[in-house]
Amino acid sequence: QVQLVESGGGLVQAGGSLRLSCAASGRTFSRYHMGWFRQAPGKEREFVAAISRSGDNTRYAESVKGRFTISRDNVKNTVYLQMNSLKPEDTAVYYCAADIEMTNLFIPSMTTSSYEYWGQGTQVTVSS
């Protein structure tokens, strides 16, 4: 079992920044990949960013490349999502997720179904 708790969401103006955190517990954090996903009202949950268990490999959705940065601290058991140049279309509930099974041991998945554990989500609202 893995427990995930997100924090750091809030209301920000367009062009602003937020940093989301996700604290993990229950299993050795450095042994699984982590991802961030988001879900806007009336839309399906979509991939945002992912990071390998070592932190060496990252992947991003095209819509956030160059604006968002995913990172992890395997001592603090925490994954982060730094979000800069936020846009109103970034408004969503953001979820962190853990991929324990890891289809690929070095490259994290971009697929929702690959992630077995999910946090409760944190709301990010970007006003225009």
pLDDT in tens, 100-121: 999 889 999 999 999 999 999 9
Torsional sign, CA 62, 63, 67, 68: negative
Does pLDDT of 68 surpass 90?
yes
Count CB atoms within 10 A of the CB of residue 30.
Answer: 12
The predicted pLDDT at position 93 comes to 98
Confidence class for position 76, pLDDT limits 50, 70, 90: very high
Does pLDDT of 37 surpass 90?
yes
The predicted pLDDT at position 103 comes to 84
As a whole number of angstroms, the distance between CA 15 and CA 21 comes to 20
Q: Residue range 62-83: average pLDDT? A: 98
Confidence class for position 25, pLDDT limits 50, 70, 90: very high
